[in-house]
Amino acid sequence: MQDLNILSDQSLEMPASPYQARHFINGRYIDSADKRQSDRRSPSHGIVVSQAALGSEHETEEAIESARTAFDDGRWSQLSGKERSIILNKVADLIEKNAERLAIIETLESGKPISQARAECGGAADLWRYAASLARTVHGDSHNTLGKDILGVVLKEPIGVVSIITPWNFPFWILSQKLPFALAAGCCCVVKPSEMTPSTTAMIGDFLAEAGLPAGVCNIVLGYGDPVGSLLSSHRDIDMVSFTGSTAVGKLITKSAGDSLKKVALELGGKNPQVIFPDANIEQAADAVTFGVYFNVGQCCNSSSRIIVHEDIAKDFVEYVLCLSRKVAFGNPLNDETQVGAIVTPEHLQKIDGYIKDAVKQGAKVSLGGDPLSVPNVGEQFYQPTVVENITPDMAIAREEVFGPVLTILTFRTLEEAIQLVNDTEYGLSAGVWSANVDTCLEFSRRAHAGTVWTNTWMDGFPELAFGGMKQSGQGREIGSYGFEEFLEVKSLVMRIGNTRQKWVKETST
């Protein structure tokens, strides 16, 4: 084992018993009709930390029917924007009040460090507040130049019943990038979290009820992609699917939804580059690279796992990143100081390791890490911070989403070559550029095929700015006013003023 900053102690006590997560349908918590449950064993501590009701077609149908009825009778969609805003702000207050409880269970279910879970769960309240503000901004257009007796009005109305399917890596944050915006638009929803991290989503049912959300407006069904997720993407009473997860599953959802021509919004994978030019602030760039690849254990669609550094500074820059990587606090997620936690499942750990071993067989060099790791007094489901050099652009590790704490290094000579490397991928989620030259930053930003481009920073985000990808990183946008608009349908209203319409069928005398 190479020199690493490993933390085995923890700052918090373990819960006394597993959390019991249940479905939330038509305003009340229920168990599955067949009483089936699934256990979630903590990837970091190896104990059962939650037991969740395991949904079937029965519960999914019940939830969809509840949302459909709630939307059609207008109990939510016909409220004023002000009334919806008040309830969403109350939910935000309850999220902040319960942020520590949410963060602890999320850390235990996902393996992420408690400091990052706190930021995710507590910070999500800001998304709810921003969505609440948007509820009062919905407006269309009027056209009064269509003729003296015609008034045209463009209305924006909620799209209907939305199924929201969320992943395991940021369960509460990604829920909050979707649900409050759909609710702000006046939609009714059925939510399915990942079966690996169901609890924080299940908990929000309490907040919604306490805040005064009418029963049936938001329903939560726990369980597996088959049957729950499959039914939520194909059911005739679902008007839109909003999904975050792998590109492969996103393609399946698109095909399933296509039979009924539902609207589909997808936030999928990424192979995100940071490009480092010789005139960059090397210290800041190296720190951002280290953060970008190890944040959330690298299990992040925005992970900057692909570094493209100018050959004139490549050796010194990589040495700097290696030095910082050895200082990253790694280990027990319940330690306040930990920065890199556990891998979500043993199978995913083996997948990460497989990418590295295959790259080595093809001539790559592992400069740091490259193996699973056991943390004393905690567990074995960890992977060392890893840096891989001697990479060629055709290697799988340079093209596919590893989704772990693994950094690959490529080099370039010219701006043209850098942009070619950046765009030579099926993904287009995010990209970054580091340079003191504003012209370089602007040209790169215009030419990079990515939904978000960061210049001289990485992963700064704000509720006001839309998020989403190009190419096989997805379609549609989340958060911001553009993400809000995804949940609205446009309707044109043509009004003739007065009795001025000319008859098409002329009367004849008999």
Q: How far is residue 32 CA from its own chain's centroid?
A: 27
Q: Distance between CA 264 and CA 510 in Å, rounded? A: 58
- E strands of 229-378, at which residues? 240-244, 263-267, 273-276, 306-310, 329-331, 365-368, 372-375
Residue 510: predicted pLDDT: 59
Cβ neighbours of residue 257 closer than 8 Å, sequence gap 6 or more: 233, 234, 241, 263, 264
Q: How confident is the model at residue 503 (pLDDT cuts 50, 70, 90)?
A: confident
Across 459-487, average pLDDT = 97
With CA atoms as reference, report the closest residue to 182 among 88, 314, 101: 88
> Which letter does DSSP use for residue 229 in this model?
I
Q: Which residue has the tokens 């004023």?
A: 80
> Which letter does DSSP use for residue 330 in this model?
E
Across 493-508, average pLDDT = 88
Q: Distance between CA 395 and CA 405 in Å, rounded? A: 17
| Contact (Cβ atoms closer than 8 angstroms) between residue 352 and residue 29 | no
Mean of all residue pLDDT scores within the chain: 96
pLDDT digits (tens, 9 = 90+) for 140-163: 999 999 999 999 999 999 999 999
Q: Distance between CA 52 and CA 29 in Å, rounded? A: 12
Q: Distance between CA 283 and CA 468 in Å, rounded? A: 29
Say whether pLDDT at 62 is over 80.
Answer: yes
Say whether pLDDT at 494 is over 90.
Answer: yes
Q: Which of 301, 401, 441, 478 is catalytic?
A: 301
Residue 502: predicted pLDDT: 86
Q: Distance between CA 114 and CA 262 in Å, rounded? A: 38
Share of the chain above pLDDT 70, in %: 99
pLDDT digits (tens, 9 = 90+) for 3-49: 778 999 998 988 999 999 999 999 999 999 999 999 999 999 999 99
Q: How many other C-beta atoms lie within 10 A of the C-beta of residue 438?
A: 10
The domain ranges of the chain are 14-268+473-492, 273-455
Across 363-372, average pLDDT = 96
- Does residue 301 have an active-site annotation? yes
Rounded (5°) CA angle 29-31-35: 175
Say whether pLDDT at 2 is over 60.
Answer: no
The CA distances from residue 425 to 24, 258, 301, 339, 428, in Å, are 40, 26, 15, 29, 8
Q: Distance between CA 104 and CA 255 in Å, rounded? A: 37
| DSSP states along 268-306 | -----EEEE-TTS-HHHHHHHHHHHHHGGGG--TT---E
3-state DSSP assignment of residue 41? strand
Say whether pLDDT at 138 is over 60.
Answer: yes
Host H or E run for residue 353: helix 346-361
Say whether pLDDT at 284 is over 70.
Answer: yes
Q: Distance between CA 339 and CA 372 in Å, rounded? A: 17
> Which letter does DSSP use for residue 213 in this model?
P
52: tokens are 């969740």
Residue 498: predicted pLDDT: 87
- Does residue 267 have an active-site annotation? yes
Q: How confident is the model at residue 430 (pLDDT cuts 50, 70, 90)?
A: very high
Range scoring the smallest mean pLDDT among 5-14, 441-450, 453-462, 488-497: 5-14
Cβ neighbours of residue 86 closer than 8 Å, sequence gap 6 or more: 132
Q: Distance between CA 246 and CA 230 in Å, rounded? A: 15
Name the CATH code of domain 14-268+473-492 (choices 3.30.365.10, 3.30.360.10, 3.10.28.10, 3.40.605.10): 3.40.605.10
Q: Domain 273-455: which topology?
A: Aldehyde Dehydrogenase; Chain A, domain 2 (3.40.309)
Across 79-87, average pLDDT = 98
Tell which wins on pLDDT, 91 or 10.
Answer: 91
Residue 52: predicted pLDDT: 98
| Contact (Cβ atoms closer than 8 angstroms) between residue 200 and residue 228 | no
475: tokens are 């379609």
With CA atoms as reference, report the closest residue to 255 among 233, 237, 238, 240: 233
With CA atoms as reference, report the closest residue to 367 among 351, 383, 390: 390
Q: How confident is the model at residue 509 (pLDDT cuts 50, 70, 90)?
A: low
Q: Which of 267, 389, 401, 486 is catalytic?
A: 267
Q: How many other C-beta atoms lie within 10 A of the C-beta of residue 168?
A: 22
Say whether pLDDT at 342 is over 60.
Answer: yes
With CA atoms as reference, report the closest residue to 294 among 103, 46, 115: 115
Query: Which amino acid belongs to residue 201?
Result: T
Q: In DSSP terms, which residues pair with 373 in a beta bridge?
A: 382
Q: How far is residue 290 CA from its own chain's centroid?
A: 21
Q: Distance between CA 156 and CA 139 in Å, rounded? A: 6
| DSSP states along 152-170 | EEEEEEE--EEEEE--SSS
pLDDT digits (tens, 9 = 90+) for 200-223: 999 999 999 999 999 999 999 999
With CA atoms as reference, report the closest residue to 274 among 459, 493, 492: 459
Q: How many other C-beta atoms lie within 10 A of the C-beta of residue 192?
A: 27
